[in-house]
Amino acid sequence: MSEAYAREMFEKALEAIADGQEYLALSYLEQARTMENDPLYLSSKALCVAKVRRSFKEATYLCRDALEIEPKNPVHYLNLGKIYLLAGQKRKALATFRDGLKHGKNAEIVAELEKLGERKPPFFTFLARKHPLNKYSGILLSKIGLR
Question: Which pLDDT band holds residue 6 (cuts at 50, 70, 90)?
Answer: confident
Dihedral angle at the C-alpha atoms of 105, 108, 109, 112, nearest 10 degrees?
150
What distance in Å separates the CA atoms of residue 44 and residue 142, rounded to the nearest whole number? 39
Q: What is the pLDDT of residues 89-109, one digit of tens each?
A: 998 999 999 999 999 889 999
What distance in Å separates the CA atoms of residue 114 and residue 63, rounded to the nearest whole number? 23
**Averaged pLDDT for residues 56-63:** 94
**% of the chain surpassing 70 pLDDT:** 99
Question: Which pLDDT band holds residue 1 (cuts at 50, 70, 90)?
Answer: low
Position 4 scores a pLDDT of 87
- Residue intervals in the chain for CATH 1.25.40.10: 2-116
Position 20 scores a pLDDT of 86
Average pLDDT score over the chain: 90
Q: What is the pLDDT of residues 119-144, one digit of tens each?
A: 778 888 898 988 999 889 888 888 88
Q: Burial code of 49-80, b = ≥16 C-beta within 10 A, e = fewer?
A: bbbbeeebeebbebbbebbeeeeebbbbbbbb
- A 10 A CB-CB count for 6 gives 21
Write the secondary structure of 5-26 as one string of H (helix), E (strand) and C (coil): HHHHHHHHHHHHHHCCCHHHHH
What distance in Å separates the CA atoms of residue 17 and residue 40, rounded to the nearest whole number? 14
**Averaged pLDDT for residues 39-53:** 92
Residue type, 79: N
CATH 3.40.50.12160 fits domain 2-116: no
8-state DSSP, 105: -
